[in-house]
Amino acid sequence: MINIFRLSCFLFIAVLFNGCSETEIIVPKAGEIISDRVVLIEDFTGVKCPNCPNAAREITSLMGRYPKNVVAVAYHTEFLGSRSQNLLSTKVNMISELRMEKLLKGKWDSIWVNLL
């Protein structure tokens, strides 16, 4: 019985240490991305948002690196995406659907963005 216990402990330790070997993770080098696809970035901003300036800088950086492949739209709302009643144009609050395909001249998949 003691021999079986010792053998079990030995096998457990052998398996435990054998499973701890590290292998190198191979990450392919990123080259230039060639694509005609367009990425839409929707940025919901607010007056009291602490992350908005950092997000705006990052979006500007992405648009600089990929000028033909990145389109950014910023929604400036009062609180958690609620519609503002204080906008200069009340027509902005009346928009229910925006067909992005027309704006991006056919490079965008046929998709509808619900703004309300």
Q: What is the pLDDT of residues 54-78, one digit of tens each?
A: 888 898 898 888 888 888 888 776 6
> In the block, which residue shows the tokens 């609180």?
79
Question: Does any domain span residue 10?
Answer: no
Rounded Cα distance between 76 and 84, Å, is 9
- CA gap 49, 77 in Å, rounded: 10
- pLDDT score at 79: 59
Domain, as residue range, for 101: 36-116
Which among 64, 79, 71, 78 has a CA at the least distance from the CA of 98? 71
CA distance 115 to 95: 7
* Domain contains 62: yes
How much is the pLDDT for 4? 82
Per-residue pLDDT of 79-88, as tens digits, reads 555 555 555 4
Give the number of domains in the chain. 1
pLDDT digits (tens, 9 = 90+) for 12-51: 777 766 666 677 888 878 777 677 888 888 887 776 677 7
